[in-house]
Structure 1
């Protein structure tokens, strides 16, 4: 798999909306191609393959995992199936990029990480935010002391459906609720900057099915003297912004903080400084690959870079960081009383 000119051959496991977006973005990334797709039904896999010009389509996951011409598999199932799908691929010797939330709980995440490390295979959570060059520039500024010591992080991600009782977001067996689908973004954003918190408080509005419709979180870092106020919702359209306040300044992200094209640095005695994707040499927030893309190419490029370098973990999205986020999400669910059948 190593070699700077090696074409990275992808398999896509699942055929939903995020799988389609991922495949569309990957088509414009040099040196990578989708060579196979799998779904639980051959009909769905074939339709997806025809839509994107993919040469092979499989009606079961195991066939994709056994395909010798696939280097790495992108797991795009609902997160309730992440552990099963990713483990199947790892056991077959495939490298894996797994969608977020990484798994349903920290125990499942630990099992996947152990399996990948034992087999010497690449595994990464598809936290595209961490690979975004605008976010990477922000972390550089923060670590260089541009805003001093962090005191607060605020972030929110809320949408309205409506999501009826039969929707997957209302089903505990599928890991339903706002937290794993949306809350993972503000939690990951805060932990990118501060690491794993030592204090977790939370409050939530629960559905009749027992999943969270709206969750507010207060995370604390005793040693750093910092806190994070985070919100996620599937019943309220929040601003979807974030702000980091330090002892010497503040950084504000506009709506869409999880795939940003700009942020503004505020410091006393200075005019506001705007940092943009264009200013960092990216076009349309997509690494120069074209206008209107969502930026999934950043995480795709990081996977390809790591595989060509023979790395089994990404320094941008380290596995220990993904495990820490899952522990925080577990702690939040414990506080608000949300349990999934897989937790037993």
Structure 2
């Protein structure tokens, strides 16, 4: 952005108007110097209703119309996983900065195409994994580095809930990337990658619905340091949805739900203290602020959610998919 553009509110567009988009749009209302310029859905009526609820200036019944709008600076992509690459490339090729919901795409090849296009077009692109930007998670990341706890020995992270199978729902539709791994298993894997890095070895096993989408997945990541990460996702069972880090001299637990604004409990010297992080919004506020700052500074890549991190994350998802023989 040039100097005159820096003083103007950033104009956002939203592509795909499902459940996550409603939370994002709600939090956008709390971000300074930011406006919801346009929203797009496959039907005009849904776009109109969403625009009225969240004070968007324009509503479109096609994604092409949104990216051709000269007033839109950045687009949040909240469409099904299988459409992320196509929608991202559409935006990038029209010069729109892109914040694309996780998982970035269906596989590493698609992610690489998106990153290469963004670099060639010199346009900002970032994977929207909001947990990374939440204050409680940033606090946990810093505390994990505290030498007083000694060596990190084990991570246990899970995310699971029971949902009655519905073949019409995006959550269960394999052709859209539905199933437990890409939708929610990404969070335990993210917890491992952001704290322990890339593992030396992975074990994984899964169960499946009749339509071929994975209903649950259990993973073990093993590291050169000797540490292990026990990870799990499930659409057929309620799980604690916590992340527990066991050290030589202590324990740190990100309480339920660890991927959302939550509390962090630390046990050290036989005492447990809990730090609570209150939020006035759903929590997408922090991710949006980070992206806006990058856009105003003319950056084309996040210094936190880097391309390398997104590459590593999708690579781990691909490796697990191969182990459980899940093909889309």
Please give the TM-score of this superposition, normalised by the length of structure 1: 0.91
SS in 1 for 2:183: helix
Preserved contact between residue 253 and residue 260 of structure 1 (Cα < 8 Å): no
1:326 to 314, 317, 323: 314
SS in 2 for 1:22: helix
Query: What does residue range 1-344 of structure 1 map to in structure 2 within 5 Å?
Result: 1=1, 5-222=7-224, 224-267=225-268, 269=269, 271-277=271-277, 284-285=278-279, 290=280, 293-340=281-328
> 1:114-161 CA distances to partner (integer Å, 9 max, x unpaired)?
111222111111111100011111111222324222221111100111
Preserved contact between residue 2 and residue 309 of structure 1 (Cα < 8 Å): no
Preserved contact between residue 13 and residue 66 of structure 2 (Cα < 8 Å): yes
CA distance in 2, matches of 1:25, 1:187: 26
Paired residue total: 326
Q: After TM superposition, give the deviation of residue 6 of structure 1 in Å.
A: 4.1
What are structure 2's unaligned runs of at least 5 residues? none
CA RMSD of aligned residues (A): 1.5
CA distance in 2, matches of 1:30, 1:139: 27
Q: After TM superposition, give the deviation of residue 2 of structure 1 in Å.
A: 5.4
Residues 313 and 201 (structure 1), Cα distance of their counterparts in 2 relative to 1, 3 Å cut: same
SS in 2 for 1:257: coil
Q: After TM superposition, give the deviation of residue 20 of structure 1 in Å.
A: 1.1
CA distance in 2, matches of 1:59, 1:196: 42
SS in 2 for 1:218: strand
CA distance in 2, matches of 1:247, 1:309: 42
Residues 74 and 225 (structure 1), Cα distance of their counterparts in 2 relative to 1, 3 Å cut: same
Please give the TM-score of this superposition, normalised by the length of structure 2: 0.95
SS in 1 for 2:149: coil
What are structure 1's unaligned runs of at least 5 residues? 278-283
Q: After TM superposition, give the deviation of residue 299 of structure 1 in Å.
A: 0.5
Greater shift after overlay, 5-14 or 224-233?
Answer: 5-14
